[in-house]
Amino acid sequence: MAYERIERPVGPVYHYTKRENVSAILQDGRLRRMGDSECWVCASLEDTLALMRDTVMVEGKPYYKVGGALGHYPKFVPENYVILKLEPRYQSGQWVRWNQELPPGSPPGLVEAARVFSQRKLGYRGDLKFQPHPEIIEVAPLLAEQRQQQTLSM
């Protein structure tokens, strides 16, 4: 894993989570690292949805859990997810990007996919405090609206 320090994002950041986690996040007023070095957000709603499409929306896709254990994404249920639109509060800490590393000679398509995936995620080293009362965006209606727009544009 190759970490790169980045500038603090300007404006809101977006974090997807399961609905069951929202009350604890709001009560804490911060995103917690949950055993990782960073908590992860995206700079836009579009990047957040694209990240979800590459991860939690792919049933059975393998991923490495915190600690290195192999896991597989369960069936995606849109109604179980929300996206929090957060305004970070000033605090000390580092913003980072994790650039995926690939073996030398990897196919160009894979290299580009890894670059795009890495650009979508912003990490904050520590627990990210945010302004009270963030907007909570429901994932299911958002995805339904996007599907309808795609159907109309065809």
pLDDT digit string, tens, across residues 3-36: 999 999 989 999 999 999 999 999 999 998 877 7
Contacts with 99 (C-beta within 8 Å, 6 or more apart), sequence order: 1, 2, 3, 4, 114, 115, 118
pTM: 0.90
* 63-83 average pLDDT score: 90
pLDDT digit string, tens, across residues 38-55: 889 999 999 999 999 999
